[in-house]
Amino acid sequence: MSKSRGRIILTDDELRYAALFESVTGITPRDAIYDPEFNRIIFIVDKNFAPLAVGKGGINVKKLKNLLGKDVEIVEYGDDPEELLRNALYPAKVVNITINKLPNNGKVAIIRVEEGEKGIALGKYHRNLKRAALLAKRYFDIDNVKIP
């Protein structure tokens, strides 16, 4: 069984991850997303709460990673696609984001980053880009995210 938060539906496992996150960090996450491709859980927290959630020296992330046996990533929520995508690609410096409608009624986000920042934005095995794409689809129904 799963619980719905607006249009977002959390699985039982994701609800358990969120509860564990809250017990370790003291912060209630907006969302917990399991990404099997990278064996990671992405927690979405309210604005300005990421540093508190991470903890001094990353202590909370390390604790959660040990308890869950999965990578743990924390992203601050964004009220619009541009803000969420910037947060998802942090610490890469995003220059601008354009969202285009596609002929099939889909949407694609084109993200330009500062010169020399593309590797940071993409991440190893494109894991940062895929995180951004996952969040863009989940929150704003954007079908694709590209960093040219």
CATH of the domain at 70: 3.30.300.20
Residue 1 has a pLDDT of: 31
Give me the pLDDT at residue 5, please: 43
Q: Is the pLDDT of residue 6 over 60?
A: no
Q: Are residues 55 and 111 in the same domain?
A: no
Which tokens is 61 given? Answer: 């992330």
Q: How confident is the model at residue 3, as a pLDDT?
A: 38
Cis (ω within 30 of 0) for the bond into 51? Answer: no
**Do residues 42 and 58 share a domain?**
yes
Query: Sign of the CA dihedral 51, 56, 57, 62?
Result: negative
Structural domain that includes position 106:
81-146
Please tell me whether residues 141 and 122 are part of one structural domain: yes
Residues 34 and 69 in one domain: yes
* The pLDDT of residue 75: 98
Model pTM greater than 0.85? yes
pLDDT of amino acid 9: 82
Cα dihedral 24, 43, 131, 68 sign: positive
In a shared domain, residues 48 and 110: no
Three-state DSSP at 140 gives: helix
- Render pLDDT for 47-57 as a digit per residue (tens, 0 to 9): 999 999 999 99
Q: Alpha-carbon distance 71 to 129, whole Å?
A: 16
What percentage of the chain has pLDDT greater than the value 70?
Answer: 95
Instruction: Indicate if 95 and 55 belong to the same structural domain.
Output: no
- Walk across the sheet containing 107-113 and list its strands: 94-101, 107-113, 144-146
29 and 47 inside one domain: yes
**Within 13 Å of residue 114, how many CA atoms lie on the same side as its CB?**
9
Q: Mean pLDDT throughout 12-31?
A: 96
Residue 70 and residue 111 share a domain: no
Question: Over the chain, what is the mean pLDDT?
Answer: 93
- Residue 67 sits in the same domain as residue 122: no
Residues 85 and 139 in one domain: yes
Helix (H) or strand (E) holding 22: helix 12-25
For 80-134, write each residue's pLDDT tens digit.
999 999 999 999 999 999 999 988 889 999 999 999 999 999 999 999 999 999 9
**pLDDT confidence bin for 2, thresholds 50/70/90:** very low
Query: Do 105 and 48 have their domain in common?
Result: no
Domain's final residue, options 76, 110, 134: 76
- Number of structural domains, the chain? 2
